Every structure is written in structure tokens, then in C-alpha cells.
Amino acid sequence: MSRANGHEIQPLTGARFGGVITIEDGAAFVGAVEAAPDELPGALDDADGLLLLKGMGAISDDPELLIRLSRPFGAEVEDYAQTSNRTNLLHPHSSHIIRISNLPPMNFPSPDPPDPPRLPDGGLPVQFPQRRGWHTDQSFRRPPPDISLFYAHQPAPRDQGQTLYADGVGAYEALPGDLRNKAEKLMALHVAPFKGYGEDAVINGESPQKLTERDGPQAQPVVRLHPVTGRKALYLCEREQIDWRNGPFVGMEPGIHGDGAALLYELMTHFTQPAFTYAHHWDQGDLVIYDNRCTIHSATWFDTQMHGRVMWLTTVWGNPGPAYDGEQRSWETA
Ligand SMILES: [Fe+2]
């Protein structure tokens, strides 16, 4: 068992990766993190990029705590007034926080339930393609953000609106040799969702929208080398966050029926096996910190007619790894 900032880190129940810290006093914990700012990022690396902090409800009364807790994870807590056009998501306290919610003015829809909605044993489906929506945050920018901090201000009921996570390092290391060799050299084309480039838009014959420098598409390596741990991880999205017109992969047959599509299905099915995944059932005050360089995640359905769900998100930028050395940020080129 390891420790960070005076707290024990336990393994995450129901997963082969990840850690959990139980916190009594959220404001005091943020102070302890600021006093020894290397410890929590180190704990995140040790936990393969997924840390659950239980008991951080103090953030709801003082949103600045979320920004303060984000700072040790990188050079810059991103300002969504600069990185996104979606001003309706900005938190009234600060544009460094966005609100992911079905309530106005955010109006995020819930993802559709999988079809069928449950596994034969009643369990929650996690594996692609029964489960769709797997992505890493904002991979349509280059370099993409490193770390996300995702806070349950007002979660859906516990049996709805879960977030699923998958371990890119575990999935990479378990790849069969031929598939691993293929993935090593590959670049995928990532694009902002719901702009007419996603798989469904292509299937339905929708016209592509005009993209801005904040929307991509951007090519990203399918295997990323983590700059701190030195470990390789799968890095890939599906459905809405991949450009299905020109991709999924650079240099492969494009489109929904091409060789690239078949390879994406093979890789994502492998990546999201139950052995590499964790389903988080949210309680109010939970904060999940995840490393986008080595994990992916997916939202699940909740009843938007019955429930308002409000999640707060920060992203931290600054150490994308050697593949991005010396690059200008793609969204600042205009
Ligand atoms: Fe996300």
C-alpha cells in the first residue's frame, strides 16, 4: 500500500488498475497537496493513471478547490474560454472549469443505452462495440490535454450515469504480437464530435460541418509513450471522436467499410475487455483523476427526464511526451 499527502491509497475495487483515497476534509487535503505537490501526481502514475478521491464534497461549496487541486498535474490548467467555442459549458466561478450536464444551459444529452442494455448476467456492458462512446478527452487538439479531474457535483442515481475507464497500458501489453506491431507505427485521425465526421454521420449521409482550429482533425499516435512512467499505452477513440471520412487511420483505406475501420474495431474490442476496464458508480463528492495519455473512458446512459446530472471538469496540459516535442498548440495557430 502506498501513501500520498498523508493518506493511504487502496487498490480500486473491481479493477486491475487504479487507486482510491478516502478524504475526511477536502479543503485540508487540497492544502496538503499544495504543500507537497509531487505526491498526488506520483500516486496517479503509480495507479496506472486512475485515482478516485472519495469525500471531496467541499469542492461544491468552493469550486476554486478543484482548480487548486488541478495545478500540481501540469504546467497549465486549461482555460476553456481559450480552448473551446462552447461558452455555455463554462462554470460561473471560472472558465478553467466546464460543466458537463443535461441541464440548461449545457444541455448535454445522455448517451444511448447499449443494445441490449444489459449483459446476460445482468451486468453493465463495457466492451466495444456493445458499449460505444469510448474516448480520451479532446484528442482533436494537438498536443492533447494530459490529465482530467472529473467531479460529481450532482451525480445521477448510482445505478445510472456511470463512467467507464479502460487501462491503455494493460491493453497495450496484452496485444498479440502482430497487432502490436501494426499499432506501433499507426496514427489515428481524431476530430471533435458531432461535426459530421463521426461514424454515425457518415452512415447517415450527413454533410460535414466547417471545422475550426479547435476541432481538428489531428493525427495522434495509436501507441503513446508515457513521458513520466516510460510505459507504452494504447491511445484511441471510436464513433464520434474519429474522422471516419479521411480515417480512422493515416495511410490506410478510409471510411466505414475500409481496412482502417476493421482494424479500429479489432483494437477497440481488445482495449475495452472487462480485464482492462473499471465502471465507476458515482457518489456526490467523488473526484476521479485520470491520465488521458494512458486511459480512455466512456459515459453511460441516465434518465434525463427524471434526473439532472452536473459534473465539473478541469483538464491540465503540459507534458504530452516526446512525440509532441517543440510543437505549437494546434488550436492557437489561427
Ligand atoms: Fe470525456
Mean pLDDT of 290-296: 98
C-alpha cell at 47: 495507479
Dist. CA 167 → ligand 1 center (Å): 15
Residue 5 Cα to ligand 1 middle (Å): 27
pLDDT of residue 225: 97
- Report how far ligand 1's centroid is from the alpha carbon of 116 (Å): 23
- Helix (H) / strand (E) element for 103: namely none
pLDDT of 84: 82
For range 127-153, the mean pLDDT: 97
CATH number of the domain within which 314 lies? 3.60.130.10
In whole angstroms, how far apart are CA 88 and each of 28, 67, 73, 238? 31, 19, 26, 25
334 pLDDT above the threshold of 80? no
Percent of the chain with pLDDT over 90: 95
The pLDDT of 70-77, averaged and rounded, is: 97
Report the range of poorest mean pLDDT among 34-43, 111-120, 182-191.
111-120
- What is the mean predicted confidence (pLDDT) over 189-201? 97
23 φ/ψ angles, rounded to the nearest 5 degrees: -120, 135
> What does the pLDDT average to over 131-159?
97
CA 313 to ligand 1 center in whole angstroms: 9
Show the cell assigned to 249.
Answer: 487511420
Task: Report every protein residue that has its C-beta within 5 angstroms of ion ligand 1.
Answer: 137
Confidence of residue 79 (pLDDT cuts 50, 70, 90): very high
Residue 86 binned pLDDT confidence (cut-offs 50, 70, 90): confident
For the chain, give the mean pLDDT. 96
Between the CA of 123 and the centroid of ligand 1 the distance, in Å, is 22
Centre of ligand 1 to C-alpha 298, Å, is 7
**Cβ atoms of residues 91 and 99 within 8 Å:** yes
Q: What pLDDT is attached to residue 1?
A: 57
From first CA to last CA, the distance across the chain in angstroms is 48
> What is the per-residue burial (b if ≥16 Cβ within 10 Å, else e) of 156-183?
beeebbbbbbbbbbbbbebbeeeeeebb
Per-residue pLDDT at 279 = 97
Backbone torsion region of residue 133, taken as left when φ is above 0, otherwise alpha when ψ lies between -120 and 50, otherwise beta = left
98's enclosing H/E stretch is: strand 98-101
CA 321 to ligand 1 centroid distance, Å: 20
**What range defines the domain where residue 131 resides?**
2-332
Task: Band the pLDDT of 224: cuts 50, 70, 90.
Answer: very high
Supply the DSSP string of 196-252, one letter for each residue. S-SHHHHHTTPPPPPP-TTT--EEEESEEE-TTT--EEE----GGGB-TTT-SBTTS
Distance 66 CA to ligand 1 centre (A): 17
- β-bridge pairing 287-291 and 50-54: antiparallel
Q: Contact at 8 Å (CB) between 156 and 280?
A: no
Q: Is the pLDDT of residue 171 over 80?
A: yes
Please give the average per-residue pLDDT across 75-81, as a whole number: 95
Separation of CA 285 and ligand 1 centre (Å): 18
How many domains, in total, are found in the chain?
1
Task: Give me ligand 1 centre to Cα 109, in Å.
Answer: 14
Let me know how long the chain is: 334
| Residue 44 confidence (pLDDT) above 70 | yes
| Assessment of whether the complete model's pTM goes beyond 0.85 | yes
